[in-house]
Structure formats: C-alpha cells, structure tokens
C-alpha cells in the first residue's frame, strides 16, 4: 500500500487533527421550502427581517456583516465536529476542481459554512445543495477546488 498520498504525509498528519486552513467550523442551516420563499418574495411590505432573510437566501455574494444576524432570521447553528475537518478540508482546499458546473435552477442558500482560524472568520461558503451551487468569500482561503457534482454529494451527509 504506500502510494504517493501516504508518502507525502507528515508524522503529524492525522485525519482527526485540525485542518491547516481552519481550526473551527460553524454550519448554519435553515429549513424553509420554496413555497414559503416564494410567498416572502411576493409580499409587498416585507419586514426588515424578511428582507434580510431573502438577501441571504438568494444573494449571489457573501456579506460577512450579516453573519451575526443569521440566527435572528431563522438559521440554526451547529459547530461541526473536529473529526470531520479533514474530509471537509480535502473537499474544499486539497483538490483541483474537475468539472465546470453550471446550474439553471433558482438557488436558495439554505446552508452556510463559516470557517475560523484562531477565532477569526477566514472564510464563508454559502451552499445550495439542490442546485449544487456555492458562493464564497475569503481573504485567506482559496475555495476554487470545491464545486464538482460529487463534492456536494460528499459534503451534504457530513453536515447532517
């Protein structure tokens, strides 16, 4: 056994140890169906909270100033178990993307990953598992490896 992967690992490389890219990971998710989202979009006099929710769900960019408000607008938060860092790290940061996936579905970002290093937010990924679309923000991380069709199928059960 002993292919190139094991030859390149250092003695400190353990699948349970923290990632090189992040040392804490928070997963935000919201359980809202398309019918409810459509009702909110069609509503004439949206509250500030409803406007904020729609901007997070459907916005094609990450606004990190909204992170402290995710719970207020209905997102639940869970810290991701450290034993899952290595597989998540490998999906996002240790591989090259093979497919250039385009989706014509109307994306709704019900899942948001917030990556921390030394208690500082270093990256955010908003994910629509239905459309297999992600938008990300980071000044320190490169999310370019994530986005192949099977990446979404591998990530989804890790977060659930």
pLDDT at 16: 40
Report the pLDDT value the prediction gives residue 11, as an integer from 0 to 100.
37
Q: Given this model, what pLDDT does residue 147 score?
A: 86
The owner of tokens 């000044």 is 139
Predicted TM-score (pTM) of the model is 0.85
Q: How far apart are CA 33 and CA 38, in angstroms?
A: 9
The predicted structure's pLDDT at residue 19: 60
Query: What is residue 10's predicted lDDT score, i.e. its pLDDT?
Result: 39
Q: What is the pLDDT along the chain (160 residues), one digit of tens a residue?
A: 444 333 333 334 444 444 678 999 999 999 999 899 999 999 999 999 999 999 999 989 999 999 999 999 999 999 999 999 999 998 998 877 787 666 678 889 999 999 999 999 999 999 999 989 999 999 888 888 898 889 999 999 999 8
């Amino acid at each position: 056994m002993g292919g190139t992967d094991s030859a390149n690992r250092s003695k400190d490389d353990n699948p349970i140890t923290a990632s090189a890219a992040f040392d804490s990971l928070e997963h935000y998710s919201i359980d809202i169906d398309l019918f409810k989202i459509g009702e909110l979009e069609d509503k004439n006099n949206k509250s500030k909270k409803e406007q904020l929710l729609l901007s997070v769900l459907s916005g094609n960019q990450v606004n990190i100033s909204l992170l402290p408000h995710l719970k207020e607008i209905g997102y639940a938060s869970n810290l991701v178990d450290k034993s899952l860092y290595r597989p998540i790290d490998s999906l996002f940061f240790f591989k090259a993307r093979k497919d250039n996936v385009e989706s014509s579905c109307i994306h709704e970002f019900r899942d948001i990953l917030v990556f921390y290093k030394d208690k500082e937010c270093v990256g955010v990924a908003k994910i629509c598992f239905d459309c297999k679309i992600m938008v990300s923000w980071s000044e320190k991380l490169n999310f370019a490896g994530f986005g192949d069709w099977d990446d979404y199928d591998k990530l989804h059960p890790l977060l659930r």
